[in-house]
Structure 1
Amino acid sequence: MSTALMLIGTSAVAEEFTPEKIKAGADIYATYCTPCHGAQMEYPGGTFDLRTFPPDQFARFQASVTKGKNNMPPWGEVLQPGDLEALWAYVMAGEKK
């Protein structure tokens, strides 16, 4: 499995998405995100299609997840340290079929 490099926000700091981080993000996604965004990011319609989230907008992702947006509840007080970054890694890496 290859390791993906992505840019986080506008800080221009390269973030390495290890397979372990992506797997942790997949587990978090399955717990909190699947009901609305679909299993394995198979967009069911009616919510934001996470497969199209721009990779240069981590700050937007962070704000949406932690504070909520529209019908999405805020998860900021639920997520543990490192969970948001793992979730971002999963969303950016995509689901491998």
Structure 2
Amino acid sequence: MPSPQTPDSKKPDAANAEQLNAVRIAINEVDEQMVGLISRRERLVRRAGSLKHDDASVRAPARVEQVIANVRAYAEKLDVDPTVVEQTYRAMIDAFIEYELKVRREP
């Protein structure tokens, strides 16, 4: 009869720990690249915001849905989970809408 697993029996061995560390380093590199892209997107959002005349044009629900449809299609093309991509984009778009509204209200 197998013994129940204890927390210690689930610890990764040295090879797994080394692989996990390598994966975490790669994730950090991807995160750095993504922040660079978010910075670029922020500059574009700031520019777009300066061209809009009211809060409704900032919120633009039809445009949001167009962006979501686009990124879901990109995800499917790249064999990435489209739900994860959509949820990520919805959160990012919400944050950028709030940012754009704030920027529009600045003197």
**TM-score, normalising length: structure 1:** 0.35
**TM-score, normalising length: structure 2:** 0.33
Q: Which has the higher strand share?
A: 1
Q: Which has the higher helix share?
A: 2
